[in-house]
Amino acid sequence: MGREIEVFYPFHPLSGRTATIVGDQIHFDRRHFNLRSEDGSSFLVPAWMTQAEAASVKIVDIPCLLLASLLELRALIDSVLGSQAGEMPPDHGGLDRDASDLSTTRSIRGAGASDEVHSGRTDKVGGSSALATDGGDDAAARRTQLGSVGGGR
C-alpha cells in the first residue's frame, strides 16, 4: 500500500493517470484497489483496470459476438428474472422458442413473420443484412442501437 499505480482502462476517469493505493480488498469475489488521486478523490477500481492489457478495450462499429455467449447471457438473464418472480427458468432458448434455429443476424425476440428474409446462418452476430427484422435499413438500426448502448464518461 502507498505505492503509485496507473489505471489503463480507457473509460475510467483516472485513465492514463497514476494514483496511490490506499487499500486492497476483495469486492464481489474480485480484487479491487482503493485509489486516491492527486486531487484527493477516492476510487474503488477493479485490479484488472490497472493491468496494461486493459488499455486494449475499444468500442467498435459492428460488434462480433459468439452466438454461444449471447445464448449463455440470455439464459442467465432468464434465470435471474425467473427466480425473482418465483418461476423456474427455461432450459434453453428463452421464453420465445428454441433459439438454436434462428439466424444470428437479427433479434431473437423479432422471430416470426420475417423468418424467410433471413436464411443465412453464422456463428457470430454482427453480420449485415439487407433488411432489419422490422423491414428497415439494418445500418440505421445498428446506429440507433449503438447510440443507446453503453454509458458516458
Per residue of the chain (153 residues), what is the pLDDT tens digit? 889 999 999 999 999 999 999 999 998 899 999 999 999 999 999 999 999 999 999 999 988 889 999 999 999 999 999 887 776 655 555 455 555 544 455 555 544 444 444 444 445 555 444 444 444 444 444 444 444 444 444
Domain ranges of the chain: 4-56, 65-148
Q: Which residues pair with 35 in a beta bridge?
A: 21, 43
As given in the structure block, the three cell numbers for residue 96 are 420465445
Any alpha helices (H) in the chain, and if so which ranges? 67-84, 138-148
Q: How many helices (H) and strands (E) does the chain have?
A: 2, 6
Contact 20, 2 (CB under 8 A): yes
Contact 102, 108 (CB under 8 A): yes
Pairing outcome for strands 42-46 and 4-6: unpaired
